[in-house]
Amino acid sequence: MNLTELNRIATAMVASGKGILAADESSGTIKKRFDAIGVESTEENRRDYREMLFRSKDAMSQYISGVILYDETIWQDAQDGTPLIKLIEQSGAIPGIKVDEGTQALPMCPGELVTVGLDKLAERLKKYYERGARFAKWRAVIDIGSGIPSMTAISVNAHALARYAALCQAAQIVPIVEPEVLMDGDHDIDRCYEVTQRVLDKTFQELRVQRVALEGMVLKPNMAISGKKCAKQASVEEVAEKTIRLLKACVPAAVPGIAFLSGGQSDEEATAHLNAMHKLGALPWGLTFSYGRALQAAPQKAWSGKAENVAAGQRAFSHRARMNGLASKGEWQSSLEQKAA
């Protein structure tokens, strides 16, 4: 393992003013997104849509540090025969790959899930590295509800995250460690804080047990935020203050950076929360975004599967990328959204 190189890549992934595009939707997820805009989810349409994003030169070169790909996408070529992964490299961004294989019901723990995909992961990582991937992603899912999460669910998912991270570093690939506490319930921000703290503490304990070099990884957590169904939604300022307090309590300074998931927040909410965190003063790690839907909802709608709309889709993507790039430096203002509308 070349830790110096892993650290260089991890640091580049969270460079100031840039963030990570999560374009790793599973076949099922991308179908739902395409259904919403009236586009058939064929391999060709998925290729064309992602090619549109990767050819958005302004967005990719200025605001995107890395792209998380799905297995199908990393092997695809653009319409002109150029591998999609090469388009990412040519923009100056780093190609990455989602390597988990989804979730299964966790035995003896009703309503809870465990992420799978460790079998033969070492062999898959070798092939992805040869293709050009320099980082990977694995997502664990923790739900909040009546009597959950259990310590069992937290422990097994943290253990799997750490095993995945160790395998990545052995393959000279930077692991994005993503323990996501879902915001789907009716819990308040303090309940989210408490559960996320337990999840992060257990995750870093397991990472140390598995001898993962913290200097060669990136954390992709949820923010401390109210559940979607909670009657009282926390303010932007409260989300920012509690999230930063939580991360400072749980995330060692050795970690080069943190790239948030959006987790179902609206486009502007995700941007505003990140911006507010950067208003709170100096931080011990890089702090940026790794958004999927919050970067892509607008360009998907603008594109709507039509070749004549590619430029409009790219403008929408560039706008959202720029807004989040500014937020990752604390320089975003809501008036910038209104000007673009």
List the domain range (segments joined by +) for residue 272.
3-340
Counting residues of the chain whose pLDDT is more than 70, the rounded percentage is: 99
List, by residue number, the catalytic residues: 178, 220
Is 340 a residue whose pLDDT tops 70?
no
Compute how many other C-beta atoms are within 10 angstroms of the C-beta atom of residue 108: 8
User: How many angstroms separate the Cα of 143 from the Cα of each of 109, 195, 261, 327?
Assistant: 12, 9, 15, 28
188-210 mean pLDDT: 98
pLDDT at residue 264, as a whole number: 86
Q: How many domains does the chain have?
A: 1
203-225 mean pLDDT: 98
Residue-wise pLDDT tens digits, 161-198: 999 999 999 999 999 999 999 999 999 999 999 999 99
Instruction: Report the chain's mean pLDDT, rounded to a whole number.
Output: 96
Quick one: which H or E segment has residue 66?
Answer: strand 64-69
Counting residues of the chain whose pLDDT is more than 90, the rounded percentage is: 96
Residue-wise pLDDT tens digits, 244-269: 999 999 999 999 999 999 988 999 99
pLDDT at residue 339, as a whole number: 61
138-148 mean pLDDT: 97
pLDDT confidence tier of residue 338, bands split at 50, 70 and 90 = confident
Q: How close are the terminal C-alpha atoms of the chain, in Å?
A: 48
* The pair of three-digit structure tokens given for residue 6, joined into one six-digit string: 């892993």
CATH number for the domain harbouring residue 141: 3.20.20.70
Residues linked to residue 67 through DSSP beta bridges, in sequence order: 21, 95
Our CA dihedral for 273, 279, 283, 287, rounded to 10 degrees, sits at: 40
